[in-house]
């Protein structure tokens, strides 16, 4: 049973074409684990590694468990964080900004690591949100195969939906290991993405305040 918040966020992303491409294959958690475990054993063997070695024998199990329970947990909306939304009784009208939210995701093109930081801000209207919930929402959407552009937009839309305001902004800076560890092997470059809504898009001063590093 999904929470009301999870259903609302998923519906909003689907309507905007921002949902991660997913199919319901009908597999339970244990069935997914068993299948990945078996397939990864085949991959490891195909690479010429000896699964009888005590260092490698549990590798398919570890990968299967990691995929299903950890780094791809955000594919299951049953894992969407419990959200504490509070009426804005204090009449807060200034920017609320959470900086340097660490996240680790996975490049959907090569299944290697994306490692970075997000900054999220909003200007309250009727609701405010528990601050740690912002971090948890970033983490939820990061725990999927991703492209950074979509990840940034997903966090924006999720918060706009939950807070019932367009006045949300998200920026992310990350190292992509598909760039760092393969291909061009550039160890220094970082990718920045920004998603702006409401006053953050329309008002230059508000946008500049959000993007300022202080």
Question: Residue 164, Cβ neighbours under 10 Å: how many?
Answer: 10
Indicate if 108 belongs to the active site.
yes
**Catalytic member of 19, 149, 173, 178:** 178
Beta-sheet strands, E only, within 35-95: 85-87
On whether the CB atoms of residues 5 and 83 are closer than 8 A, the answer is: yes
Structure tokens at 101: 């939210």
Indicate if 125 belongs to the active site.
no
**Catalytic member of 31, 42, 58, 109:** 109
**Catalytic member of 143, 148, 153, 154:** 148
Indicate if 61 belongs to the active site.
no
Structure tokens at 36: 């990945």
CA–CA dist 206, 214 (Å, integer) = 14
Structure tokens at 191: 């990718």
Indicate if 107 belongs to the active site.
yes
CA–CA dist 149, 114 (Å, integer) = 12
Catalytic machinery residues: 107-110, 148, 176, 178
């Amino acid at each position: 049973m999904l929470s009301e918040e999870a259903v609302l966020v998923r519906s909003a992303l689907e309507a905007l074409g921002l949902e991660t491409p997913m199919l319901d294959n009908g597999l339970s958690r244990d069935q997914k684990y068993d299948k990945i475990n078996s397939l990864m054993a085949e991959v490891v063997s195909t690479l010429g590694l000896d699964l009888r070695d005590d260092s490698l024998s549990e590798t398919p199990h570890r990968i299967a468990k990691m995929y299903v329970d950890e780094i791809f947990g955000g594919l299951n909306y049953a894992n969407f964080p419990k959200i504490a939304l509070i009426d804005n009784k204090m009449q807060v009208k200034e920017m609320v900004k959470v900086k340097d939210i660490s996240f680790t995701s996975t490049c959907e093109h090569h299944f290697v690591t994306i490692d970075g930081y997000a900054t999220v801000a909003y200007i309250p209207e009727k609701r405010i949100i528990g601050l740690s919930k912002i971090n948890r929402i970033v983490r939820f959407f990061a725990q999927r195969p991703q492209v950074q552009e979509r990840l940034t937009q997903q966090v924006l839309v999720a918060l706009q939906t939950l807070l019932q305001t367009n006045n949300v902004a998200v920026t992310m800076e990350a190292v992509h290991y598909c760039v760092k560890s393969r291909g061009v092997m550039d160890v220094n470059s970082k990718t920045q993405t920004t998603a702006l809504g409401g006053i953050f898009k329309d008002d230059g001063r508000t946008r500049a305040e959000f993007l300022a590093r202080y």
